[in-house]
Amino acid sequence: MTIDLENIAQLVARLTRDTGAFIRQEASAFSIEHVELKGKSDLVSYVDKETERKLVTGLKEILPEAGYITEENTIAQDRRAYTWIIDPLDGTTNFVHGLPTYAISIGLMADHEVVLGVIYEINRDECFVAWKEGGCFLNDQKISVTEASAIDDSLFATGFPVHNFEKLDAYLAILNELMKNAHGLRRVGSAAVDMAYVACGRYEAFFEHNLNPWDVAAGVIIVQEAGGTVTDFQGGNEFLFGREMVAAGPVHGELLRVIQKHWND
């Protein structure tokens, strides 16, 4: 079956903007007493769950035959020829604490490849949209990764683990080397936003360990269609379900060498 990816991308972008209005409304009166713990540092609220329900309802109308992989499990997980991968509120901890960086992230996977992605950063009203062989757009304007190819010309984004600290020493060694040689390191708290910012040139690269597919699915195609490269820490293709990712412009190769030097010790 062939589908019109461009048309679907525009419909999904409209859905994320509409649903983002609900999140924006709830943020104005949100209380931390509504928070649940999925893990020690892994928060969830009724806003995440209700947003996911709204997104699933809308996506069923856009592509009824698709399956779903979702963070909050409000629908049975079901991989099909086309599968939506949804993070209803990437950056929940930021949302809970009133920090204005969080996003809706929706990717569409065809078999094993992400072919469409939409990331809507709610507070800045920025909608990043990409589809396979269609380019990458921010609020309908085409965007691309930066041309910087050296670490000393680069600003990097990363995330900190909230569980599974087995590789913490290696991670800190990577951060130590980059701190001394790059323009800087940022930890915004939303992998989806980090990847969108790589795509539009605000960062040169993003890397992180212990990721989930819903954190990064949309960002994969968004970075790729913006001219960037996405790999796992070994330089391979196990980045969607392999729980680690490097997404970058031309600095990808040099950054990957730093990561591998410490990660593989």
All structural domains of the chain with their residue ranges: 5-142, 151-263
Residue closest to 203 by CA, chosen among 220, 221, 223: 223
Angle between helices 213-225 and 191-199 (to 10 degrees): 0
> Over the range 102-123, which residues count as b (16 or more CB within 10 Å of their CB) and which as e?
bbbbbbbbbeeebbbbbbbbbb
Q: What is the pTM of this model?
A: 0.95
Which amino acid appears at position 106 of this protein?
A: I
Strand-strand pairing, 244-248 and 229-231: antiparallel
Number of H helices, E strands in the chain: 7, 14
pLDDT in the model for residue 264: 82
How many whole angstroms separate alpha carbon 226 and alpha carbon 206? Answer: 14
127-180: pLDDT as tens digits: 999 999 999 999 999 999 999 999 999 999 999 887 778 889 999 999 999 999
Residues of the chain with pLDDT under 70: 1, 31, 33-34, 37-44, 265
* Domain 5-142 belongs in CATH node 3.30.200.210: no
Ordered alpha helix ranges (H), the chain: 5-27, 46-62, 92-97, 168-181, 191-199, 213-225, 252-263
Give tens-digit pLDDT for 224-237. Answer: 999 999 999 999 99
pLDDT of residue 137: 98
Q: What are the strands of the beta sheet with 113-121, ordered from one edge?
A: 67-70, 82-90, 103-110, 113-121, 126-131, 135-138, 141-142
Please report the pLDDT score of residue 43 as a whole number: 58
Tokens of 78: 């079901």
**CATH topology (fold) of 151-263:** D-Maltodextrin-Binding Protein; domain 2 (3.40.190)
Identify the pLDDT of residue 125. Answer: 98
